[in-house]
């Protein structure tokens, strides 16, 4: 449930409500908007029976929240969240570009890519040090060695770095090197990993599962938020359907649906959703037009020799061209791609 305070409710009135909620063993979450303050209640609301909160000073009304996810719900937090990661902001008014190789293959390749995507206008370097692959014989990543390269690339270029984690061990290692961790599609419902990501406190990029509904996706985000970490960015990367023309089917409608249900930022992955580099530019334009807060794009110095996902990776020149093509779309949406 949420308690909506009157527009001119005093600080004392809000604190009194908070005190009563917490005295009953529940959690109170304050969301102070531009015009109104909302107090979200998490826990067994039957404990508040007889408290007559709706009659207390400063209270406008009480609204039930029927969705199982609370903390990431827009009803709890009407204003869109802006997530700070290093020197970048992800969310309303900002268009974020994340770019880099699917897999970190070696030191020189990663540094070369970092300089190239930085020059083109990216704010984040993405790179896989831990690679969950369909085949156990495929390249599995450089693990901590790759993370060290990520840290060096950040120090050399000023880019923020984001890397996928696949286990608690990978999480514990990665937080020493990166600015943001990614929970991939295959781990979206790895609930123990989600909870540990919440406890780690580092910003999280949460990808939608291959066959997950939007409500399942938001409940996965709730696992992270319930452990005290609400620095979450959602990523739509395509879902599994009967269609075989693309690697996955991008659910472009997920952007406005998420905007209606949650305050969290959402970005689009045009690389994994299509699996074909020639589709990345039109999909990216559509993502910005529909209101996505950013893109995460796979870029490689020589895609034909990439150890992972070469067919969907852009060359440096192609990524630079993509960014240039996106600038007018970003401006039309009131954002600067280089901001």
HEC string of the chain? CEEEECCCCCHHHHHHHHHHHHHCCCEEEEEECCCCEEEEEECCHHHHCCCCHHHCCCEEEEECCCCCCCCCECCCCCCCCEEEECCEEEECCCCEEEEECCCCCCHHHHHHHHHHHHHHCCCEEECCCCCCCCCCCCCCCCCHHHHHHHHHHHHHHCCEEEEEECCHHHHHHHCCCCCEEEECHHHCCCHHHHHHHHHHCCCEEEECCCCCCHHHHHHHHHHHHCCCCCCEEEEECCECCCCCCCCCECCCCHHHHHHHHECCCEEECHHHHHCCHHHHHHHHHHHHHHCCCEEEEEECCCHHHCCCCHHHCECHHHHHHHHHHHHHHHHHCCCCCCC
The CA-CA-CA angle for residues 162, 163, 168, to 5°, reads: 130
**Taking the CA atoms of the chain, what radius of gyration do you get in angstroms?**
21
Instruction: Return the pLDDT at 31.
Output: 85
Identify the structural domains of the chain with CATH numbers, from first to last.
2-63 (3.30.70.1140), 82-332 (3.20.20.70)
Question: Tokens 């070469």 label which residue?
Answer: 310
pLDDT of residue 339: 45
In 3D space, the residue among 245, 253, 280 whose CA is nearest the CA of residue 99 turns out to be: 280
Binned average pLDDT, 10 residues per bin, the chain of 339 residues: 90 92 90 83 86 90 91 93 94 92 95 98 95 70 93 97 96 97 97 97 97 98 96 98 96 97 98 97 96 97 93 97 94 75
CB under 8 Å to 333, separation ≥6 — which residues? 95, 288, 289, 291
> What integer pLDDT is reported at residue 131 of this predicted model?
75
pLDDT at 137: 67
Q: pLDDT value at position 338?
A: 59
- Residues ≥6 apart with Cβ < 8 Å to 297: 97, 98, 99, 269, 270, 271, 280, 284, 314, 319, 322
Name the nearest CA neighbour of 102 among 249, 307, 316: 307
pTM, 2 dp: 0.92
**Residue 63 vs residues 3, 235, 326: alpha-carbon distances, Å:** 6, 29, 41
Q: What are the backbone angles phi and psi of residue 37, rounded to the nearest 5°?
A: -105, 135
**Are the C-beta atoms of residues 153 and 159 closer than 8 Å to each other?**
yes
Instruction: Quote the pLDDT of residue 52.
Output: 87
């Amino acid at each position: 449930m949420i308690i909506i305070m009157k527009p001119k409710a005093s600080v004392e009135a809000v604190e009194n409500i908070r005190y009563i909620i917490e005295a009953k063993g529940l959690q109170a979450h304050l969301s102070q908007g531009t015009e109104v303050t909302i107090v979200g209640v998490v826990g067994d609301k039957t404990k508040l029976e007889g408290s007559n909160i709706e009659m207390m000073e400063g209270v406008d009304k009480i609204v039930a929240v029927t969705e199982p996810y609370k903390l990431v719900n827009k009803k709890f937090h009407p204003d869109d969240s802006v997530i700070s990661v290093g020197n970048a902001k992800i969310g309303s008014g900002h268009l974020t570009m994340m770019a880099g190789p699917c897999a970190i293959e070696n030191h020189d390749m990663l540094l070369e890519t970092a300089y190239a995507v930085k020059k083109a206008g990216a704010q984040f370097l993405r790179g896989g040090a831990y690679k969950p692959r369909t085949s156990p014989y495929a390249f599995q990543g450089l693990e901590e060695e790759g993370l060290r390269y990520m840290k060096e690339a950040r120090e050399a270029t000023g880019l923020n770095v984001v890397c996928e984690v696949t286990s608690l061990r990978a999480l514990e290692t990665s937080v020493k090197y990166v600015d943001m961790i990614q929970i991939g599609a295959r781990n979206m419902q790895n609930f123990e990993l989600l909870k540990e990501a919440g406890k780690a406190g580092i910003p999280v990029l949460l990808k939608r599962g291959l066959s997950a509904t939007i409500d399942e996706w938001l409940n996965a985000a709730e696992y992270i938020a319930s452990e005290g970490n609400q620095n979450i960015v959602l990523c739509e990367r395509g879902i599994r359907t009967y269609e075989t023309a693309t690697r996955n089917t991008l659910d472009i409608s997920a952007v406005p649906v998420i905007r209606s249900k949650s305050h969290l930022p959402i970005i689009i992955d045009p690389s994994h959703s299509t699996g074909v580099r020639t589709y990345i530019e039109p999909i990216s334009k559509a993502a910005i037009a529909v209101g996505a807060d950013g893109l995460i794009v796979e870029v490689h110095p020589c895609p034909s020799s990439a150890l992972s996902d070469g067919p969907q990776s852009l060359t440096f020149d192609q990524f630079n061209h993509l960014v240039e093509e996106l600038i007018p779309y970003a401006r039309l949406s009131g954002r600067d791609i280089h901001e």
